[in-house]
Structure 1
Amino acid sequence: MSSPPEPPEVDDHDDEGGGGWWGASPGWAKAVVAIGAVLILLLVGGLVGALIGQRTAPTYAPAAGSVDVGFLQDMSVHHRQAIQMAVWERSNTTDPALRQLAFDIESSQTQQLGMMQGWLQLSEQRGETAPGQYMAWMGMPMPSMPGMATETDLQRFRAATGQGLDVEFLQLMLRHHEGGLHMMEMASAQASVPAVRTLATSMVTTQTAESQTMTQLLAVRGAAPLPMN
């Protein structure tokens, strides 16, 4: 009886000049692996480049002496007074419509004030406008900005009650809005930083709508707007 055939020998050595799996793989498989490696390298390189760009890109802040800085400084002062009047009205009126209007003005201008102060800190212009130099960035330095309430105005407003309080608020805030409109329009057109232009444009839109509402509310109460100071 003949013995069974011997199993074939297994070559444990790499193919000549081939290199194991790589040498035994068909050409299309090698191409897929090569393309994948290139794509991974490109992706890693892109991510690294983006990170480097974020770290080295300069932060664009308003320049000292620019329209941007002048507007941000003056409008910050303007907004602070509007916020003070709005807080007083919201806290003391008994009219739900006036309470809501005051709240809206307080909220929007508080947010805008924070943005303006942040940009001023980036530009290292943290100080207030010098006395007598309001609107100097517009070529017309003034001791006070149009529409600002005087201390006498504010005392009369705080002393009022009921509908008298609401009329005082509407008259003072309407004049305040209208007094700042020219500054907002100029910054919207001439500020060099896009974000500042966008903010100024938003202010024009919002405050124009609020002015129309306040004019209507005054008419309902038989009162007229104040002349510009």
Structure 2
Amino acid sequence: MTRPTRTHWAAITAVVLALLFAGAATVASAGGGEDGKSRPPTPTPTAASADAGFARDMAVHHQQAVEMSFIVRDRTQDDEVRRLAYDIANTQANQRGMMLGWLDLWGLPKVSADSEPMAWMQKDEHGAHSGHSAGHQAKDGSLMPGMAAKADLQRLGKASGKQAEIEYLQLMISHHNGGITMAEGCVKLCTVDTERSLAQGMVDAQRSEVGLMADLLRKRGAEART
């Protein structure tokens, strides 16, 4: 019998965690307040809501981080970078499973042809136009803040050893910084408490990882891209 791989277990974990977090969100919506009285259930997010937009866009954002992490894993033998890449891939695959699970729970599509990436950050909680850029499409072809362009991924895939490590760390710092901006937007705009908590956790964890990756770059005589 074939033994389950790490990727297989990560996929199972993502499904289980998505169900647990979805269940927690449902219980929290229907549960009582601190005074023991029941509270009105939180309305199910709509397709145009910040909750749904963040879940859709961050799922795509996370998928690229997982892809880049698997690429560098096969392009270097450095234990420190490989361990970081595995941690990022595992964490973001699990979080992606949670967000896709919420979309299923809410009965919403995982892909929206009616809105451009980041459009959910265009309005604040009162519906007014915010300072965030919507419909992000960088000149290099990236879809959202911090995402690597096709040429970046090709360059990473061709590099090896120390150069692959530097390419990965530089790309992932930019990727994390873009993800932090998105997660901060959800903390401000999302209405589902469980999702906002996950977004804040992303902000805290990715800021810490950016510091770690900057240190790893300096050890290799390189700096983050500006």
Q: TM-score, normalised by structure 1?
A: 0.71
Contact 1:218 1:224 in 2 (8 A): yes
In the alignment, which residue of structure 2 is the partner of 1:103? 86
Amino acid at match of 1:212: G
Equivalent-residue separation in structure 2 for 1:132 and 1:153 (angstroms): 26
Task: Quote the offset at 1:127 in angstroms.
Answer: 3.2
Residue of structure 1 in register with 2:58 after alignment: 75
Equivalent residues of 1:146, 1:180 under 8 A apart: yes
For residue 109 of structure 2, what is the aligned residue in structure 1? 126
Note the alpha carbon deviations across 1:82-108, whole angstroms, 9 max, x for none: 000111222332111001100110110
Q: Distance in 2 between matches of 1:217 and 1:93?
A: 14
Aligned-pair identity in percent equals 43
Q: Find the counterpart in structure 1 of residue 3 from structure 2.
A: none
Match of 1:43 in 2: none
Equivalent in the alignment of 1:200? 199
Q: 1:59 to 1:89 in 2, by over 3 A?
A: same
Q: What TM-score do you get using the length of structure 2 for normalisation?
A: 0.71
Amino acid at match of 2:145: P
Structure 1: unaligned runs, 5 residues or longer: 1-52
1: CA distance, partners of 2:114 / 2:223: 32
1:141 maps to which residue? 135
The answer as to whether partners of 2:100 and 2:110 remain within 8 angstroms in 1 is no
Aligned partners of 2:109, 2:153: CA distance in 1, in Å? 27
Deviation of residue 122 (structure 1)?
A: 1.4
Work out the number of aligned pairs and report it.
173
Looking at structure 2, the residues matched to 87 and 203 of structure 1 have their Cα atoms a distance apart, in angstroms, of: 20
Q: How does 1:60-71 map to 2 (within 5 A)?
A: 61-71=44-54
What is the CA-CA distance between 1:58 and the residue it aligns to?
7.0
Which of 70, 74, 78 is 1:91 aligned to?
Answer: 74
1:158 aligned onto 2:157:
yes
The answer (yes or no) to whether the contact 1:68–1:191 under 8 Å persists in 2 is: yes
1:141 Cα shift?
Answer: 1.9
123-132 vs 61-70, greater mean Cα deviation: 123-132
Asked if structure 2 preserves the Cα contact closer than 8 Å seen for 1:61 and 1:119, the reply is no
Contact 2:54 2:182 in 1 (8 A): yes
Task: Measure, in 2, the Cα distance between the counterparts of 1:59 and 1:138.
Answer: 21
Q: CA deviation at 1:63?
A: 2.6
CA RMSD, Structure 1 to Structure 2 (Å): 2.1
Gaps of 5+ in 2: 1-29, 32-39, 123-133, 138-142
Give the partner amino acid of 2:107: E
Give 1:212's aligned residue: 211
**Distance in 1 between residues matched to 2:112 and 2:159, nearest whole Å:** 31
- Evaluate the alpha carbon distance shift between residue 79 and residue 87 of structure 1 in structure 2; reply closer, same or farther with a 3 A threshold: same
